[in-house]
Structure 1
Amino acid sequence: MSGPIVRNYKGGSIVYFEKDKAEDIFVLQKGRVVLTYSNVNGVELKEDVKLGEFFGVKSALGRYPREETAQVIGAATVLVFKVPEFERFVSDKTHLIIKMLKVFSSQLRQVHRQVREILGQGEAKNPPFELMNVAEVFFKNGNHEHAAYAFSQYLQHYPDGQYIDRAKQLQDLAVRKGTYPLTLPELIYKPEPGAGNGKLQEMLKTMAIQKDPSTSTVDPNSIQSQHDKASTMMSAGKFIEASSIYKEISERTDSVTQEEEQLVENSLFYLGKAHYKAKDNASAINTFSNFIKRYPKGQLLKETVYHLALATEANGERDKALQLYQKVILLPPTDDSISEDAKAKVKAGKS
């Protein structure tokens, strides 16, 4: 019987890109691999793969494109399974199956929580309205594919619905990857009798945002909940509100899990980014500098130095900014988009 193969990667190598065709499942044996992906709000997040942990599982088993980019930091050795090999491998290992189900369940809860934050709702009002609301949130966040799918489901299941003309207009724009029309009146909730929740839940499940039935409540004061709320604020352009939440998270000392500790670290970076977006360059410079001191080997170190350079340049310190851009170019990986942007900044500064 064939088995997994061993594959070695050099530092900066890409194991796979987002939207690549998914065929293989990987296990990290040695080194470091970082997954980069965007949450429902469109905010870019990074996550370290733990030693001995599988990655690329969902997309390979589901036969859909990768949802994240997997990049090697330093150097790494991985085991590579084909799907049939992986299925044989875990078939008699119940503990692995349970562990993966827990991870997937947690991810579904997190995405659902983010969607509810965006919608600003508690429980569902009525399926047609909520489906339209979900579709429009996706559209506003630039997720044209999910938006077009949601609008098509509204047109299919509610051909005589109150929002039919609006759905047709927005679906056409989403399919053509147009921009959400700012002149469009706000979606107004209108009770629509006779609509059951079954269809809506089925559609949301297809879009991977169905709530995990095993969880009935979410602690609004948890680090994860607060981080999701701040991400939503950032996505909505509410940088002052976001910075207040990120600051609170970055100062918390009650994190107990590795995921929560990473969220605390990430929040300090996003606090600086919120200051920069709000054009408070002095606060951004101070926050990014603080991040570098606290997390000299942090996952977001390169992004932090780059944004420190941006804030320094915006603050009128051009020579210092150029020095920082040159440091960015030297930080691994040296062939990513941040390096290219930094090189362009240095070239423009010298011309």
Structure 2
Amino acid sequence: MGIKTVKYKANSIIYFKGDVADRVYILKKGSIVTKANDLKTNEDLLSMIKVGEFIGVKNVISRQPYSETVSTLTDSELVVFYKDDFEKFILSNSRIMMQTLVVFSNQLRRIHRDIKELNNSKEHTHSSSDIEKDLLDLGKYFLKQKKIESSNYCLEKYLEVYPRGKYVDECHSYLDTGSFVEKEEKEQILEESSLNFQEGENYLDENNYAKAQECFQKVIDAKDGYRLTDTLFYNGVSLYKLNEYKKCIHNFSDFFSKHKDYDKILDVMFYVGSSYMGLGDGAQGSKFLKQVVKKGEGSPIAKAAHKELKG
């Protein structure tokens, strides 16, 4: 259904408590208020929503009806995510995901504290089982999506808030499953990176620089650290051979600070210097090439740099 912006008039109801939670909202402009039941006083609790805040996330993710009524105080604009679109968005944006989980866990901690106070007062009885299950279900949801870090965050938060909760054993079980899945995934990624690296080297030997660069980029994108320095080097060589001089320079941008002791550091300086030359920046290119000539005196790469300087 996509993501869209919807305008609401003042005093409009966005959704009622108990409605099916099939959308997440972000306040873009205007004033929004939520009305929920206060566990301690059993009175309506009103909360203002700030611009940029998400509304309805907990209910959509936990697949529970909305737990509050939301309405506008002034004319307002909201960005609307339908459930499937929000799941795709949050799963592809780790920063937003973690922010959402922190807010969610803070809400649960506050509710847990209120329940504890109520039980201690012996004036009310209230079951926290639904709240516990929300957090457990959220952990299970992220586990199914293979978002292990987020799953572990939820499950560990459950154990912190409910150390004697009814789902403690299940939490430990899912944490163990997550560790196993994470290990399997890392091994699979490592194996794929190894194959891509070897394939990239083969293409490089065949002077098929486009295919080589494609393979090395896959290893870099995997972010598993597999032969990272060598991968960055050969990726830069491939880019240079493809006359992608700007990309070559960018590829090596952190190389001198992070990998200054690399055994091919003079080659890196040569490719960076020659790339600047290729871009018409003779002054910057000469700085690198002269260092190669000086530091690698008599070596093949120094001779190549000397030749490049002569034009």
TM-score (norm 2): 0.40
User: By percentage of residues, which structure has more helix?
Assistant: 2
